[in-house]
């Protein structure tokens, strides 16, 4: 896959400025992902995929994030959904066959977890699936669906039935041919302009087997949240890496013009590099623990979480929430430091040191599942836990 992702990177880089300027979906890069067979990377080899590890997917997200954050985020969102299917539904014949279809046809998956009236809480739904005679119907008002107009498949959360409480949810796999929807608004955003996030009035019907048997609470805790936070971390550090690389190149260029003089931005380079190293180390530790615990689409040997160190229960939620919060804020600081180093050359568009697009894109990181919401909830979990803090 290494050669394949580099070919996609070249396409994404060629169109990144146009995608940002026009606020359009990165169609060329996604077409390249399809052509290279990367949309099925997490699916087992036996079903036509590549049996990729979390480390491989996060690395690909970071590589794409360096050149086009919108393409990288689409890729990360797609695979965070595919991880749910691979980890929790391959024992079901319909779901297994559909995983094969995703891999062989390279279908793009979009997520519909948001809903009008739930205040951004993925773990609550107002809509419900109605199952009658082996078939289901579903209608949902979703305020934010990233790249929904371009997706081939939708993974949709809903209550298990009309009388179920908001937290009693299922995840439904809906191929585009089983859905009808109308967009409710456009997407003209500050950054991540190619993710084409719009609202949907979404309706679907199909066979009951399209509803995953495992409760969404388990899917979210074990697959969707870990995959999202780790893959998003790859995207965000990719943006930061590229911005800081441009800043270092700027300093090197200035140093060649003024040999023997210490450049004024050198101390900022050290600070930003330290932040980046810290983020990379945290991500790598959790990715390694995840891959040692879960096989995903491969036949790799795995170990018990107690042996791998992968946290469980409330501790897992806490660790992942803190990772998301810290990486999203620190990556922003790295990009800001890169801009301070480059000065007006970074502030202006159209130079080899331009940082504007990177700064606008990284600002979204703190708003995707708002950091204030994460900090409040995680703080409450921390003081409820009995584990020691700060223990090496």
Q: What is the pTM of this model?
A: 0.96
Do 174 and 136 touch, CB atoms closer than 8 A?
no
Q: Tell me which residue has tokens 């949810």.
A: 169
pLDDT digit string, tens, across residues 228-248: 999 999 999 999 999 999 999
Is residue 392's pLDDT more than 60?
Answer: no
Is residue 299's pLDDT more than 90?
Answer: no
Judged by DSSP in three states, 131 sits in strand
| Tokens read off for 231 | 């893959």
Do 240 and 232 touch, CB atoms closer than 8 A?
no
Is residue 316's pLDDT more than 60?
Answer: yes
Question: How far is residue 238's CA from residue 120's CA, in Å, rounded to a whole number?
Answer: 26
Judged by average pLDDT, the poorest of 30-44, 48-62, 80-94, 249-263 is: 249-263
- Report pLDDT for 391: 60
- Residue 236: in which H helix or E strand, if any? helix 225-257
Please choose, from the candidates 53, 111, 123, the residue with its C-alpha nearest in 3D space to the C-alpha of residue 78: 111
pLDDT digit string, tens, across residues 65-91: 999 999 999 999 999 999 999 999 999
- Report pLDDT for 184: 85
- Report pLDDT for 185: 80
Residues 6 or more apart in contact with residue 373 via CB below 8 angstroms: 120
SS3 content of the chain, % helix, strand, coil (to 5): 60, 10, 30
> Could you count the other beta carbons within 10 Å of the beta carbon of residue 21?
11
147's torsion region: left (phi>0), alpha (psi -120 to 50) or beta?
left
Q: How confident is the model at residue 386 (pLDDT cuts 50, 70, 90)?
A: confident
Question: How far is residue 140's CA from residue 250's CA, in Å, rounded to a whole number?
Answer: 49
| Tokens read off for 51 | 């049996």
Do 43 and 101 touch, CB atoms closer than 8 A?
no
CA dihedral (325, 328, 334, 335) in degrees, to 10, reads -150
Strand duo 153-159 + 109-112: pairing: parallel
Question: How far is residue 254's CA from residue 263's CA, in Å, rounded to a whole number?
Answer: 7
| Tokens read off for 78 | 């797609």
Do 119 and 150 touch, CB atoms closer than 8 A?
no
Is residue 170's pLDDT more than 90?
Answer: yes
Question: Which domains does the chain show, CATH number per domain?
Answer: 2-108 (1.10.540.10), 110-210 (2.40.110.10), 216-384 (1.20.140.10)
Angle between helical axes of 27-35 and 2-22 (0-180°, round to 10): 160
Radius of gyration of the chain (CA): 21
Q: How confident is the model at residue 371 (pLDDT cuts 50, 70, 90)?
A: very high
Question: How far is residue 4's CA from residue 86's CA, in Å, rounded to a whole number?
Answer: 22
Is residue 154's pLDDT more than 60?
Answer: yes
Judged by average pLDDT, the poorest of 256-265, 315-324, 331-340, 371-380 is: 256-265
């Amino acid at each position: 896959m290494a050669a394949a992702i580099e070919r996609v990177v070249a396409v994404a880089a060629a169109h990144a400025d146009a995608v940002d300027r026009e606020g359009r979906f990165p169609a060329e890069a996604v077409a390249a992902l399809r052509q290279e067979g990367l949309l099925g990377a997490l699916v087992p080899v036996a079903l036509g995929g590549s049996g990729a590890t979390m480390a491989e997917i996060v690395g690909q997200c970071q590589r794409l994030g360096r050149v086009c954050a919108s393409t990288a985020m689409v890729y990360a969102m797609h695979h965070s959904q595919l991880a749910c299917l691979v980890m929790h539904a391959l024992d079901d014949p319909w779901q297994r066959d559909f995983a094969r279809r995703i891999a062989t046809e390279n279908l793009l998956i979009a997520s519909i977890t948001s809903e009008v009236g739930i205040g951004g809480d993925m773990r609550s739904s107002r809509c419900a699936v109605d199952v009658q005679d082996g078939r289901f119907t579903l209608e949902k008002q979703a305020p934010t669906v990233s790249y929904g107009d371009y997706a081939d498949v939708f993974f949709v959360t809903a209550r298990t039935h009309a009388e179920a409480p908001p937290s009693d949810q299922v995840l439904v796999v809906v191929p585009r041919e089983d859905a009808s929807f109308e967009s409710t608004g456009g997407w003209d955003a500050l950054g991540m302009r190619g993710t084409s996030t719009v609202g949907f009035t979404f309706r679907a019907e199909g066979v009951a087997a399209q509803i995953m048997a495992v409760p969404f609470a388990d899917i979210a805790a074990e697959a969707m949240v870990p995959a999202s936070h780790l893959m998003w971390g790859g995207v965000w550090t990719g943006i930061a890496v590229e911005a800081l690389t441009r800043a270092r190149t700027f300093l090197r260029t200035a140093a060649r013009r003024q040999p023997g003089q210490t450049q004024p931005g050198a101390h900022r380079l050290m600070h930003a590099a330290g932040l980046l190293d810290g983020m990379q180390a945290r991500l790598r530790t959790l990715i390694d623990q995840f891959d040692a615990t879960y096989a995903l689409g491969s036949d790799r040997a795995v170990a018990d979480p107690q042996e791998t160190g992968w946290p469980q229960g409330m501790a897992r939620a806490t660790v992942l929430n803190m990772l998301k919060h810290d990486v999203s804020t620190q990556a922003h600081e790295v990009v800001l430091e890169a801009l301070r180093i480059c000065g007006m050359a970074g502030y202006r568009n159209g130079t080899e040191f331009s940082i504007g697009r990177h700064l606008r894109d990284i600002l979204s990181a703190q708003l995707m599942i708002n950091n204030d919401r994460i900090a409040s909830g995680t703080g409450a979990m921390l003081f409820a836990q009995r584990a020691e803090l700060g223990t090496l």
